Structure 1
């Protein structure tokens, strides 16, 4: 993986889940909204809060705090939904608060650790130091398209099962 010593810089949206600092590729972010009423859907995993109508499109809403097994989850004025567009599929993720948009160079990103954590390391792109904090870069495309999420196969606007082509 030789980049001829050229440093690739990418933008990331950073956010907080509890005391942990995370980032996702800004190119997956469609918009950021305040947390609003979500319609519950029966027989969904606990981390899928339900669905939301976004300008006529019904989208699944994943609470990342529940997904990452955080305790003491509260919904307040800083709780937001990050609307993602991943391979032309729309999904919302609930986070405690959005922090900033940052630029990171490839060499600033360290490989993920080799130990068990709340977030399976196969979904961690890497780690980067940001001021006094350690930033966890999530491969959000890989996470949202994973079999354990099964988002796009379970929920569709008309209530039928939606199959995705791979």
Structure 2
């Protein structure tokens, strides 16, 4: 008799932005960090808060609340950075996403996930993979690869390059 193989295909990391519950496919999440100092990079989109040093590597941090038009993420004891790996134009890219708090890893079968609604959410429908439910609360499951556009990240890469060049000239 074959043993059942454990799979992460239906596991999601849940987190909050304001009072809304969101989720990311656990396969795209690398780790969760306590809020650390974020270095602002000039001439970047407002939603890109800056970069953090993650084991010697500059990792951009995006404020998801700003990206979704929900205001700015406030620094609290629960604020954290979710480190994710996204696929941008076929290139794996590591990013940080600010969240008000991280909740838990939640398991949902695909039959429990409904298509995204056409209206009624604070974010663009193409950013949403689907809607799940935990008790009476809806969980907005994000498609992290669509949330971050290559245009924004190209602008960040250019700004980081310019900042590095300015630092070398000084």
Task: Tell whether the structures are fold-level matches, with TM greater than 0.5.
Answer: yes
**Larger Rg, first or second structure (1 or 2):** 2
Q: Which residue pairs with 1:120 in the alignment?
A: 124
| Cα offset, 1:117, TM superposition | 3.9
SS of equivalent residue, structure 1 residue 13:
strand
Q: Which residue pairs with 2:37 in the alignment?
A: 37
| Cα offset, 1:105, TM superposition | 0.6
| Cα offset, 1:61, TM superposition | 0.3
d(CA) in 1 for partners of 2:120 and 2:129? 15
Q: Which residue pairs with 2:134 in the alignment?
A: 130
| Cα offset, 1:143, TM superposition | 1.3
TM-score by length of 2: 0.81
Q: Which residue pairs with 1:69 in the alignment?
A: 69
Within 5 Å, give how 1:80-119 maps onto structure 2.
Answer: 80-87=80-87, 88-115=92-119, 117-119=121-123
Runs (4+) of structure 1 moved beyond 6 Å?
none
TM-score by length of 1: 0.83
More helix by percentage: 2
Structure 2 alignment gaps of length 5 or more = 1-7, 163-170
Aligned-pair RMSD on alpha carbons? 2.2
- CA shift in 2, pair 1:158/1:48, >3 Å: closer
Contact 1:30–1:85 under 8 Å retained in 2? yes
Per-residue Cα deviation, 1:6-34 (whole angstroms, up to 9, x for no partner):
xx951100000001000000011111001
d(CA) in 2 for partners of 1:98 and 1:24? 11
Q: Which residue pairs with 2:58 in the alignment?
A: 58
- CA shift in 2, pair 1:158/1:128, >3 Å: closer
| Cα offset, 1:45, TM superposition | 1.2
Structure 1 alignment gaps of length 5 or more = 1-7, 162-166
d(CA) in 2 for partners of 1:24 and 1:40? 25
